[in-house]
Chain A
Amino acid sequence: MKTIALYSIKGGVGKTAAAVNLSYLSALNAPPCLICDLDPQGASSYYFRITASKKYDSDKFLKGNKKIHRNIKATDFENLDLLPSDFSYRNLDIELSEEKKPQKKLKKNLESLSDDYSHVFFDCPPNLTLLSESVFSASDIILVPMIPTTLSIRTYNQLIDFFTANNLDRSKIRAFFTMVEKRKAMHREILAEYGTAPGFLRQTIPYNSEVEKMGVYRAPLTAVKPNSIASKAYRGLFEELMAESGL
């Protein structure tokens, strides 16, 4: 089982869109796949029309294995399951801090899933907290979507610094550019500077109104509009990720 976290300190950069589309492609090409919605806002759960059952909450999530197993739901797509998030996840950090080894918690809780899925995607909430640290340690790849702006580069560097300061494995981090608008000079300049930098994936995701419509389709764009420009870009990203990271 390979685990890929869609992570960014900033919000609104396309984490959920990437997690939903990549997990669908993974279910298609390297089944079976699980997407874990870790964000209390539950956007990826919403995209798949799934709500957690009434009995499910952050408590169950922290209990792990069996409780998690029981709350996984099938999406409408073959070989793609989802662990829905619950609004109670907003307290995950406080609850994690009361655990013995919070950084290792996520990894331990998902152990029993390793026979069931070949790939697991985490859709993470935008912040840098104990939960994020737990995600870092549980993930094989930390995939960071970035809008090509100077502010994004700054937060990316903050993340790198955090990894260095805390002795974490920096080689897990892969960044890629999203919502790219070639007509904007700043986007062009930043792509020119970082497009081929180490740790950055070559494939970029263009700004595309189809991606925003996922909220209307409530399904992966790669499934409902496989020939749209953004879908093709996600496919390219997926292939690059698979080839480059040996997933």
Chain B
Amino acid sequence: MMTGLPATEIIKFNTCTDSISVPHILRNSGFNTASPERRKARRHYFDTFEWQAFSRGLVIQSEGRTISINALSTGRTVATASFPSTSACFGSEYFPLGNFSTLLSKISPLRAFCRVASFEVEVHSLRVLDHDEKTIGIVTDESIGSIASDKKGPYVHILTLTPFRGYSEEMAHVRKALQGEMPESVSLENSGLFRTLMHESGKEPGDYSSKISLKLDSQAPVHESALRLLRFTTEVMRRNEEGIRKSIDTEFLHDYRVSLRRARSIFAQLKGVFDPQTANRFRKELKGLAGRTSKLRDLDVYLLQQHKFSATLPPALRGGLIPFFASITSARQKIHRQLKRYLASEDYRKFMSEWEEFLSVTILPDAQNAPVASTATGKSASAAIRKSWKRLLRNGRLVSRETTDEELHELRIDCKKLRYLMEFFASLFPTDKTGAAVRHLKKLQENLGEFVDCSVQLKFLHEQLDAAARNGCDPSLAASLGGLMTRLYEQQEETRSIFHNIFRSFDSDRTAILFEEMLTDKK
């Protein structure tokens, strides 16, 4: 007995095969066909810069005026929407509220979905009928090729068999009949088809993540490992430049800035690894570059919170925020133009080429100037993490009962330093230990992060209020800003009030054991 067909079955043909006549083959095996449909269309695939749909096992594709989200493994459609435009990038807010936009925002709440590849498809589909003229399934004959007219021949030629419910056994006979006539054909997974198509357009799904994925060698000199880390962060910066220039979404700049901060942190925390004069020079330059991007990031953060801000206010006060956000939007445009100009400038080009030149020199620096450059990476990493962890504990215990703003600001920086070190060297330690330690640290970081964000935003809103007062203030704007400041202040005080509890759980025996185990239990 023949086993049934799965939900869909894809058979891939040799692209050189002459056109095949599905109805003809099926008629010879006792199956009729009906309702032939032929169409030619452009098919576009979309994903975020970091392939968030793909990494969730989903594929977003448009054909004609329809866009759909499909399961990567089966090709089954999960959600569809009409897509009248030819836009190359969109966010979930581009679509009316519903299944489709909800799923998009679940895949990525922040990132834009951009076209990653486009194809010309020729589809010929028909129903397969049994002896009772009952439809048992659909056969789709697809040729997928390049949109460039000068390229000859399709990339792939496939037949997709989709049995109707309850007819998988009958459709298995259909497959046998078709494959019998086409000896060179092979069965293909839907995900395999997707990879093939991406490969043909020079794309590699999942090839970008800002997370540090380097496998370091614990015996290698720390100088070599630090250079590798710096090269990694620089590569991330480089890959995000275009997205920043085109202002595709806010995360390009965010990743760029995180990379800059990581690079600075490597210099700051691995003392004696580089020649101090060179290190100081680059640290200063990187700091300057970070400074050029911070204003834009601040404004991005406000714009991202537009809905949240509005929702925290009573409806009567929301109107005042409209001109407020309009002015932020126009300020952002101006600052974005400035940054774009800088990224295209000779200054930036020159700095980056010097920086990359520095990263490419692998010779160990002079031992007199950089005494620990040749120390084993593992040893250096443990020492640095231990030092940073102990400092965080020391400073955290010093935070007074009043938990002043300055104390919390500084402790947040200590947290970040430790977090970066743990990320840099994660590959040297057992994953279960680092994972658990990072989780504890993360809770503390979240508390402090929220606190600092609130206080930075409060300061900003205060400045806006002052500026508004100088320019003859609109009372509805003042009321809205006042309302927002009240909410932010409440939130800030809330995080302040729970700080000691959260710190205590980080400064516990349990966490200490975890850190000790991690630092002694090197791979």
Contact = CB atoms under 8 A, between A and B. Distances in A.
Contacts of B135: 76
A49 B166 contact: no
Interface of A: 48-51, 53, 71-74, 76, 81, 218
A72 B166 contact: yes
Contacts of A76: 134-135
A81 B132 CA distance: 17
Contacts of B167: 73-74
Contacts of B164: 73-74
Given A50-B134, A53-B169, A73-B167, 10 more contacts: A48-B134, A49-B133, A72-B166, A74-B165, A74-B166, A74-B167, A76-B134, A76-B135, A81-B165, A81-B166
Interface string B160-192: 000011110100000000000000000000000
Contact of B132 (A49, A71, A72, A74): A49
A48 B134 CA distance: 8
Nearest to B34: A76
A71 B135 CA distance: 16
Nearest to A77: B135
26 contacts: A48-B134, A49-B132, A49-B133, A49-B134, A50-B134, A50-B166, A51-B132, A53-B166, A53-B169, A71-B166, A72-B165, A72-B166, A73-B164, A73-B165, A73-B166, A73-B167, A74-B164, A74-B165, A74-B166, A74-B167, A76-B134, A76-B135, A81-B165, A81-B166, A218-B132, A218-B133
| Secondary structure type dominating chain B contacts | loop
Interface residues of B, number: 9
A3 B267 CA distance: 71
Nearest to A56: B166
A72 B164 CA distance: 10
Contacts of A51: 132
A48 B132 CA distance: 10
Nearest to B163: A74
A76 B137 CA distance: 9
Nearest to B137: A74
Nearest to B134: A49
Interface in B118-142: 132-135
Contacts, number: 26
Please give me the 4 A-B residue pairs with the lowest Cβ-Cβ distance, nearest first: A73-B166, A49-B134, A74-B165, A74-B164
Most buried by B among A72, A73, A81: A73
A48 B164 CA distance: 13
Nearest to A46: B132
A76 B134 CA distance: 7
A72 B165 CA distance: 7
A51 B6 CA distance: 21
A45 to B, nearest CB: 10
A79 to B, nearest CB: 11
Contacts of A48: 134
Nearest to A73: B166
A36 to B, nearest CB: 14
B422 to A, nearest CB: 44
Nearest to A76: B135
A55 to B, nearest CB: 10
B521 to A, nearest CB: 48
Contacts of A81: 165-166
Contacts of A71: 166
B144 to A, nearest CB: 26
Contacts of B134: 48-50, 76
B282 to A, nearest CB: 60
Interface string B413-445: 000000000000000000000000000000000
Contacts of A50: 134, 166
A116 B134 CA distance: 23
A81 B165 CA distance: 8
A73 B132 CA distance: 15
B169 to A, nearest CB: 8
Most buried by B among A53, A73, A76: A76
Most buried by B among A51, A73, A74: A74
Contacts of B169: 53
A73 B135 CA distance: 11
Most buried by A among B134, B165, B167, B169: B134
Contacts of A73: 164-167
Nearest to A71: B166
Contacts of A72: 165-166
Nearest to A48: B134
A22 B164 CA distance: 22
A49 B136 CA distance: 11
A73 B166 CA distance: 4
A218 B135 CA distance: 12
Nearest to B133: A49
Nearest to A52: B166
A133 B476 CA distance: 69
A81 B167 CA distance: 12
A88 B415 CA distance: 73
Nearest to A50: B134
A48 B163 CA distance: 17
A75 to B, nearest CB: 8
A81 B169 CA distance: 17
Contacts of B166: 50, 53, 71-74, 81
B166 to A, nearest CB: 3
A218 B133 CA distance: 10
B135 to A, nearest CB: 5
A74 B163 CA distance: 9
Nearest to B165: A74
A51 B167 CA distance: 11
Contacts of B165: 72-74, 81
A72 B279 CA distance: 71
Contacts of B133: 49, 218
